[in-house]
Amino acid sequence: MSDRYCPDCGTLNVRAARFCQACGARLRGAPGAACARCGVTALPGDQYCDACGAALPESILLVVEDTGWRIVVPDRAENTLGREDVLSGARPDVDLAPYGADALGVSRKHARLRRAEDRYTLEDLNSVNLTYVNDERLEPGRKAALADGDRVSLGSLRLIFRQALRLRSPLPSVGDSSASLRAGFAG
């Protein structure tokens, strides 16, 4: 059975689902980071495991503007963004097909996201339906620097580039006041 089928009731679920829409069972292969301590899969972008509270690895996200779906970008120096196509064999690093990419004009290999240290750039790969960063057209081969919150359009698919929130200091212990809890987060 595919990971999109519920292991308990057999219902077919959307690829990005974490829980079965029919019976509520946890689905195998759900998107997000697996907790190193307990193995539970967290929502993409979560900083802490809901089950045990352990810190999760930081992640870069693309958020679908219309739906709020969070897409985790693999932790690599370079990722191709596009849509999988079985006939041509195209398999981008970040497959946007589950988010309506075909109908919204996303090319099979639409753009390249690169990381150098903590800085990110986006480059259009000569896509048919163009790439925009903050409503400015990105010419093929030209790189645009990305910052947290930038709007990226691949064809008509609108995304928001998000870098994980970082803690300024470790979390205080359980007995600390709520004021010291709030002071630990970067805003």
Q: Is the pTM higher than 0.75?
A: no
**Within 10 A of 158 (CB to CB), how many other CB atoms are there?**
15
Pairwise CA distance, residues 43 & 85, whole Å: 26
* CB-neighbour burial class of residue 95 (10 A; exposed 0-12, middle 13-18, buried 19+): buried
Answer whether residue 10 shows pLDDT above 80. Answer: yes
> pLDDT, tens digit, for every residue of 21-34?
999 887 776 666 77
Residue whose structure tokens are 């932790």: 75
Residue 160: closest CA among 79, 100, 86, 71: 71
Distance (Å, whole) CA 65 – CA 68: 6
Amino acid at 91: R
- Please report which residue ranges of the chain form alpha helices under DSSP H: 178-183
CA angle 134/82/100 to nearest 5° reads 85
Q: For residues 51 and 34, what is the distance between their CA atoms, to the nearest angstrom?
A: 11
- More reliable by pLDDT, 64 or 55: 64
pLDDT tens, position by position, 72-122:
898 889 999 999 988 888 899 999 999 999 999 999 999 999 999 889 999
Which of residues 15 and 115 earns the better pLDDT score? Answer: 115
171 vs 58, residue with greater confidence: 58
Percent helix, strand, coil in the chain, to 5, is 5, 30, 65
Q: Please report the pLDDT score of residue 172 as a whole number.
A: 41
